[in-house]
Amino acid sequence: MKISIYVLLLSLALAAGCKSGQSSQGTAKTGMNKTEKGAVVGASSGAVVGGIIGNRSKNTALGAIMGAVVGGSVGAVIGNKMDRQAKKMQEDLGNTATVERVGEGIKLTFDSQLLFDFGKSNLKESNKENLKDLANTLKAYPDTELLVVGHTDNVGSNSFNQSLSKKRAAAVSSYLASLGVYKSRLETQGKGETQPTDSNDSESSRSQNRRVEIAIYANGKMKSEAKLEAGK
């Protein structure tokens, strides 16, 4: 019975997403990874589909976004605001990060190899410019919370990987804060090797697991303003 309800809800939400996508061609074209592309849909149905998929995922960034979902007409207003932010981030970051619109939020995924040397937690100078662009966009859209999550592959001990992932998340967060993003908006977590997106059977798959994710979702102020816009 639970499976049947899940399938029914998913089918209805996907149908709504297709209809929305046909009528909103101005939505940003954002990157998707192959394991989560089902959660990236139009603003009107994103909360439904993202919630179904996100709640079944052990991904911390997705969980943070889905935990902030409002839904309904208020959620649609928030989704429209996030569409604009996601488009700007995609323009600024280009191929250096994957920008995904999930539910009522945005998930950014940076390949750790672009930000850090192998086994290190000091940011590379060569890619600090991309984080500067991200910081400028975050400052232009101040009514969001951010969760920065570090991940590693399974090379090395569990304790080393856990520590490394935490240090990398902290490095990204600290640098964004140094560029003027309020510290009160930033939270960090390190998940080590516990949340892979791919197997660790080859270097190619391991490289997919070495990443830093940033969950961006509405704060209380944005939700209150969205309620007013939606007439709630």
Q: What's the CA gap between 171 and 199, in Å, rounded?
A: 26
Write the CATH number of the domain with boundaries 2-229: 3.30.1330.60
Amino acid 127: pLDDT? 85
Residue 50 has pLDDT above 50, yes or no: no
- Write out pLDDT tens, residues 57-100: 589 999 999 999 999 999 999 999 999 999 999 999 988 899 99
Helix (H, G, I), strand (E, B) or coil at 32: coil
- Side by side, which strands form the sheet with 186-190? 97-102, 105-111, 211-218, 144-151, 186-190
